[in-house]
């Protein structure tokens, strides 16, 4: 049969079977040869269908993620990466921003590697200073990844593209781990420092290829102008990576998912169990509380978050979170843990779940608290997050003063 005679269903079946055999450990060269016999090119849409079909066959996202680079190498130049959207080249458009940042990431990786090699050979303090400066710039790749995870991926999920975001987020976390390991090696003077950097570098460069050759062409087919505008409007909340947009994207529309979906009459008071408040008063009070609040309903859908009082948030939230499954708001590596927490809250095995962790400058306390009505019906979960370090510091200072007196 000629390549052009295969139907979409037949192409998907062949692709799925080839990938299942690859996952089972068959020789890559044999699989590559059979792939080339059928496919002159493959579209990003076919790739996302393939990943979804693999997961329906019982292949876990972790398994797909572990062979993500193998898949990319197999399909390689066969992927049709052509885009037809002129807006993508406009300064400020999310795709243009992503590509400019990718150029900056490539440049930062090159500079870090050159300086790292020189520093490891000479231990020169001036070179070390320049190296630390370049690493601080490269650290901003986190902003690039978070914009995808919290601004782009929710829209993909709403469009029915669920497997690729999950796999890509998982690879993000692998890159974060590799990069963190490199920085630890550098700080501790380990012999493996250069090798650790190169492992992180290779995965970062591979991710750039996946973004530009698979992700962007994939979403081009399903995203509308409003979707891109939503991403553009939320992007400043996550910051940019090394370079900032030259200007704001020219398209202007009044679009606010939260206001459209949760419009409430602003006049009159809202009756509460111990009084009443206007909508304006209620919003002001909730945003003034010294903690981050999120409410997830009984179906595990994010329904509300407070905006805060202008301070930098521990867990950033944007309007794209509203209406999203709370499980998908978390990194794939903790999906099972989060799922278990909500099952335990809903089944009354637990009233609340608490956890603590430290960052460089914060001591974070997170609580998931079940919400029940007076008849014992599960209404959802209130998550509240607080940096308790200022409280700890306050009491430590108070204890010191009492000791001195």
pLDDT tens-digit readout, 311-333: 778 888 888 899 999 999 999 88
What is the C-alpha separation between 180 and 178, in angstroms, rounded? Answer: 5
Residue 26 has pLDDT above 50, yes or no: yes
> Between the CA of residue 364 and those of 243, 285, 291, 335, what are the distances in Å?
30, 22, 10, 20
8 vs 6: CA distance, rounded Å: 7
How large a percentage of the chain has pLDDT more than 70?
A: 86
What is the model's pLDDT at position 80? 61
Residues 192-248: tens digit of each pLDDT: 999 999 999 999 999 999 998 889 988 987 899 999 999 999 999 899 999 999 888
For 257-297, the pLDDT digits (tens) are: 444 444 555 567 899 989 999 999 999 999 999 999 999 99
Q: What is the rounded distance in angstroms from the CA atom of residue 36 to the CA atom of residue 386?
A: 54
Q: Which helix (H) or strand (E) holds 384?
A: strand 378-387
Rounded Cα distance, 314 and 310, in Å: 12
Confidence band of 359 (pLDDT split at 50, 70, 90): confident
What pLDDT score does 86 carry?
58
Residue 403 has pLDDT above 70, yes or no: no
Largest CA distance in the chain: 92
Q: What is the model's pLDDT at position 242?
A: 96
Structure confidence at residue 31 (pLDDT)? 86
Cα gap 100→235, rounded to integer Å: 14
Q: How confident is the model at residue 404 (pLDDT cuts 50, 70, 90)?
A: low
Return the closest-CA partner of residue 163 out of 14, 59, 312: 59
Q: Round to whole Å and give the CA distance between 373 and 216.
A: 45
Burial of 272 (0-12, 13-18, 19+ CB in 10 A): exposed
Per-residue CA distances from 304 to 2, 131, 324, 378 (Å) = 54, 42, 11, 17
| DSSP tag of 90 | S
CATH code for the part of the protein at 86-238: 1.20.120.520
User: What phi, psi does 337 have (nearest 5°)?
Assistant: -65, -45
119: confidence class by pLDDT, cuts 50, 70, 90? very high
Mean pLDDT score of the chain, rounded to an integer?
86
Tell me the mean pLDDT in the region 73-101.
76
What tokens were used for 189? 């003077």
Q: In angstroms, what CA-CA distances link 150 with 165, 187, 231?
A: 10, 31, 9
Give the pLDDT band (50/70/90) at residue 396.
confident
Please count the other Cβ atoms lying within 10 Å of the Cβ belonging to residue 252: 8
Q: If you write DSSP's letter for every residue of 289-335 in order, what string do you get? A: SSSEEEEEETTSBEEEE---SSSPPSS---GGGTTSBGGGGS-GGGH
Q: Which fold has domain 260-393?
A: Beta-Lactamase (3.30.450)
Q: Residues with Cβ < 8 Å from 92, sequence gap 6 or more?
A: 232, 245, 246, 247, 248, 249, 250
Residue of 340, 347, 293, 341 lying closest to 321 (CA atoms) = 293
Please tell me the predicted confidence (pLDDT) of residue 217. Answer: 87
Residue 163 confidence class, pLDDT cut points 50, 70, 90? confident
Structure tokens at 294: 């999120």
pLDDT of res. 259: 44
Q: What is the pLDDT of residues 374-386, one digit of tens each?
A: 999 999 999 999 9
Residue, of 86 and 96, whose pLDDT is higher:
96
CB atoms within 10 A of CB 359: 10
């Amino acid at each position: 049969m000629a390549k052009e005679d295969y139907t979409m269903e037949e192409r998907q079946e062949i692709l799925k079977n080839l990938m299942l055999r690859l996952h089972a450990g068959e020789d890559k060269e044999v699989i590559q040869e059979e792939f080339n016999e059928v496919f002159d090119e493959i579209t990003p849409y076919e790739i996302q269908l393939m990943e979804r079909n693999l997961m329906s066959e019982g292949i876990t996202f972790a398994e797909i993620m572990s062979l993500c680079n193998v898949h990319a190498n197999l399909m390689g130049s066969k992927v049709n990466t052509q885009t037809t959207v002129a807006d993508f080249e406009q300064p400020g458009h999310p795709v243009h921003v992503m590509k400019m940042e990718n150029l900056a990431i490539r440049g930062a990786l090159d500079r870090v590697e050159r300086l790292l090699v020189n520093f490891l050979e000479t231990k020169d303090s001036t070179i070390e200073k320049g190296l630390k400066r370049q690493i601080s710039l490269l650290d901003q790749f986190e902003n690039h990844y978070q914009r995808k995870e919290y601004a782009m991926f929710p829209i993909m999920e709403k469009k029915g593209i669920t497997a690729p975001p999950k796999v890509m987020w998982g690879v993000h976390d692998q890159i974060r781990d590799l990069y963190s390991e490199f920085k630890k090696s550098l700080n501790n003077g380990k012999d493996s420092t250069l090798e650790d950097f190169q492992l992180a570098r290779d995965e970062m460069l591979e991710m750039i290829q996946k973004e530009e050759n698979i992700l962007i062409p994939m979403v081009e087919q399903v995203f509308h102008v409003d979707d891109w505008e939503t991403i553009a409007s939320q992007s400043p909340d996550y910051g940019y990576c090394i370079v900032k947009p030259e200007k704001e994207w020219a398209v202007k529309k009044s679009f606010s998912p939260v206001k459209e979906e949760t419009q409430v009459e602003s006049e009159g008071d809202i009756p509460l169990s111990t009084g009443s408040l206007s909508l304006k008063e209620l919003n002001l009070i909730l945003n003034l509380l010294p903690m981050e609040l999120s409410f997830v309903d009984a179906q595990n859908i994010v329904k509300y978050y407070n905006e805060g009082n202008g301070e930098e948030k521990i867990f950033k939230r944007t309007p794209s979170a509203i209406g999203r499954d709370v499980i998908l708001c978390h990194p794939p590596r903790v999906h099972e843990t989060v799922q278990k927490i909500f099952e335990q809250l809903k089944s009354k095995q637990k009233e609340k779940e608490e956890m603590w962790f430290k960052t460089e400058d914060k001591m974070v306390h997170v609580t998931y608290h079940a919400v029940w009505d007076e008849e014992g019906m599960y209404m959802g979960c209130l998550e509240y997050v607080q940096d308790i370090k200022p409280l700890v510091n306050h009491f430590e200072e108070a204890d010191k003063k009492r000791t001195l007196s």
